[in-house]
Chains A and B, each alone.
Chain A
C-alpha cells in the first residue's frame, strides 16, 4: 500500500524545545516538501528536496531545519528559533519537480506550543 505517512498526528511542545516531525514515503518519489498551514491560509513552503543529500529553503524556512539522508525520509525539525510554531504541518512528495508537479500529501501533523 503506497503512500506518505507522517507522525505523530498530534504533537505538543513547550516553549524553547526543539521537536522533529517525521515524513516517510514509499512511492519512490525523488522530490519531497514541507508546508505549513495556518487557519484560513493557503499552504506555505518551508523546505524542499529534489534528491538525497540536497535540500533548499522555501518561503518561510527561518526557525526550521531538515535533512534528506534517505530517499524515503524527510524529517522536519521545528527549532526554538521559530517564533510562532503552532500550525498544521504537511509533507508532500512528487516524482519530479521540474515538469508538471503532481504532489501527493501526507495526513499532516498538528503542532501545538504550550
Chain B
C-alpha cells in the first residue's frame, strides 16, 4: 500500500539557521501534500501544502518543493526561531487506485525539530 517515509526523525539547528525535512511517497497518483506542525499536547496545525501541478510554494519563512518524478517533497524553514520547535508531519493523499479510500491522507512518522537560541 501507500507509504510515506520522512527523514530525519530528529533535527537540531541553531537559531537563524535553515531546516530541511524530506519525505518520499510511493503512490504516483498522489496529488496533495500537506505539512503539519504539532506542538506538545496539541493537535496538528496545517502550515503549508502543495498540489501535484505545482513544483514549489512559499509562505514567508517556509517553503515546500515537490519532485513528482522522484516522488519526494521537502519542507524548508529559513531563519529558524525557537518557536519553530515542534514535531512536523508530512502527508500524501491516496490516489485513484485505492477506490473508496481515495483522498485519504497517509502520514509520515514525524520530525522533531529543536531550535536552540
Q: Give A contacts to B, CB under 8 Å.
A: 4, 6, 40-45, 48, 56, 58, 90, 96-108, 110
Q: Can you list 9 A-B contacts with CB-CB less than 8 angstroms, sorted by A residue number?
A: A40-B109, A42-B4, A43-B105, A44-B107, A58-B104, A96-B103, A97-B104, A102-B32, A102-B49
Q: Verify A42–B43 contact, CB threshold 8 A.
A: no
Tell me the dominant secondary structure on chain A's binding face.
loop
Q: Verify B43–A101 contact, CB threshold 8 A.
A: no
Residues from chain B with Cβ under 8 Å of A90 in the complex:
43-44
Considering the chains assembled together, what is the distance between the CA atoms of A108 and B104 in angstroms?
19
Q: Verify B100–A101 contact, CB threshold 8 A.
A: no
Residues from chain B with Cβ under 8 Å of A4 in the complex:
43
- Shortest CB–CB separation between residue B113 and chain A, in angstroms? 15
Nearest A-chain residue to B4, judged by Cβ: A42
User: Hey, what's the 0/1 contact readout for B78-112 against A, CB within 8 Å counting as 1?
Assistant: 00000000000100010000001111110111100
